[in-house]
Amino acid sequence: MSALTLSTSSAATLRADAVVIGVAKGPKGPVVAAGAEAVDKAFDGKLTAVLEALGATGGEGETTKLPAPSGLKAPVVLAVGLGEAPAKDEGFAHEALRRAAGSAARALAGSKKAAFALPVEDADAAGAVAEGALLGAYSYRPARNAAAAKKDGKADKGAPLAEIALLGGKPRDKAFKAAAERAATVAEEVNRARDLVNMPPNELDPKTFAAAAQTAGKEFGLKVEVLDEKALLKGGFGGIMGVGRGSDAPPRLVRIGYTHPKAEKTLALVGKGITYDSGGISLKPAGHNETMKCDMAGAAAVFAAVVSAARLGLKVNVTGWLALAENMPSGSATRPGDVLKMYGGKTVEVLNTDAEGRLVLGDALARASEENPDAIVDVATLTGAMVLALGNRTFGVMGNDDAFRTSVYEIAEEVGEQAWPMPLPGELRKAMDSPVADFANMGERMGSGLLAGIFLKEFVGEGIAWAHLDIAGPAYHESAPYGYTPKGGTGSAVRTLVRLAEHTAAGDLG
């Protein structure tokens, strides 16, 4: 990941490959944002006029490169759009800063060092710029690809920006330093989740995913327990075994726990970890399989969030449950019509083997509930219906407690992850009635994204606040990158889970 430093140097005197400034969209044209005063001075006060002449508007994500005048040590000035200029006496929204920094970092891929002179009015704004720049600089680059790119001895133009110097911050100010350090930690863990999602499915199966959790556990002092197929069968985890039994790569259930000696609350996080989803016997049609390596994005988010909590030293106990399986068709695969006995004893008739995520999550939710945490949040690329409802950039939030669901939604908005609260209408439950089991894994087509949440609710322990995040839309981005969001795995929900853990540690959630 890119290195991050806080600097007291002026944008005019710091040696770097480029200096990044902000430009806003004003009522009469582009407006240079605070932080760029030294750069404007080097342009003899004509920076705005130059940008306007080059067609810059200050629109969100817009980037304009200019050759720097002699008054700057950096040879290039990169102006990045911040969107609409805020009202007088108001600062830029943190998400605007985050996205602008991400756009700038992407535009400077291949550079060694860039100085970011965006408007940083306080520590939180500094954290937003740092986080956006570090996330924007991400590139999934397996070692063999990076080596191949440098084989001819030329500069690797696809390499991420190597060093980010944040100007306008106060390195000796504890708040600024803490914000920068938090941003670096969270960004690194978001990028960990992105790497996992981007890995080819032949390189990341349940066993190798579990091994990655064990390695992180040793590094960060986490307690990791792995249940293999024998332990799952013996323990009665019929959902996970039912999904994974069609594959040559057997399933795993991983418990990864972080504890703090002064913690008063416990948060359980449950992640869907289907390392590849063919649909099983209910095979997906052509055109729907190619990106199904991303069906473990929920487990990746949970894994990264637990590691983040440990690295940040949060005063809360956080337990992650990674429900890992590969859903494949074979002679041993679960068939439509089979009945599975889930962990805890409930039986489920499988009407569609492509509705497998809820089966592995059901087992994990029931097991997590046995430890009686204060709250449970599950994260899953669960339903295409949620994508139809909310699009590719917004995840749905459901829950059994309206206040907790609202808190999770507001936290997502706080960190810049687009989310929307969704209901769990009780009348949909009857659609899952089964003549041969307690209920089925499918119901009516309309409202099926909500029905999936109702299914999961059946496995949450009595009296435990629970929220369900369906990240099927934003977990994997197939279009062109924007802001700090890359193509491929996005690390969706990691930042929401980390901030939820912070609020829980602070006692803000009751």
Tens-place pLDDT, residues 100-123? 999 999 999 999 999 999 999 899
The predicted pLDDT at position 225 comes to: 98
* Cα Rg, the chain, nearest whole Å: 24
Residues 250 and 399 in one domain: yes
The predicted pLDDT at position 89 comes to: 83
Within-domain flag for 183: no
Within-domain flag for 474: yes
Does 39 have pLDDT greater than 90?
yes
> For residue 34, what are the domain limits?
3-169
Q: Give percent of the chain with pLDDT exceeding 70.
A: 96
Better pLDDT: 169 or 75:
75
Burial class (CB in 10 A: 0-12, 13-18, 19+), 223: exposed
- Report the distance separating Cα 275 and Cα 293, nearest Å: 6
Within-domain flag for 91: yes
Does 83 have pLDDT greater than 60?
yes
Does 170 have pLDDT greater than 70?
no
When pLDDT is averaged across residues 334-340 and rounded to a whole number, the result is 98
Residues 165 and 236 in one domain: no
Does 232 have pLDDT greater than 70?
yes
Cβ–Cβ under 8 Å, residues 454 and 473:
no
Residue from 106, 192, 252, 358 carrying the catalytic annotation: 358
Does 144 have pLDDT greater than 90?
no
How do 113-117 and 223-227 pair as beta strands? unpaired
Looking up tokens 């939180």 gives 124
Counting every residue, how long is the chain? 510
Does 223 qualify as catalytic in the annotation?
no
When pLDDT is averaged across residues 473-501 and rounded to a whole number, the result is 98
Does 177 qualify as catalytic in the annotation?
no
- Sign of torsion, CA 418 123 130 496? negative
Instruction: Express each pLDDT in 22-38 by its tens digit.
Output: 999 999 999 999 999 99
Q: 391: which 2 tokens? A: 């699009």
Residues 96 and 211 in one domain: no
Instruction: Express each pLDDT in 294-306 by its tens digit.
Output: 999 999 999 999 9
Within-domain flag for 177: no
Residue from 73, 141, 177, 284 carrying the catalytic annotation: 284
Residues 111 and 165 in one domain: yes
497 — pLDDT class (breaks 50, 70, 90):
very high
- As for how many domains the chain has, the answer is 2
Within-domain flag for 459: yes
Does 346 have pLDDT greater than 80?
yes
Residues 401 and 300 in one domain: yes
What distance lies between CA 295 and its chain's CA centroid? 13
Does 157 have pLDDT greater than 80?
no
148 — pLDDT class (breaks 50, 70, 90):
low
88 — pLDDT class (breaks 50, 70, 90):
confident
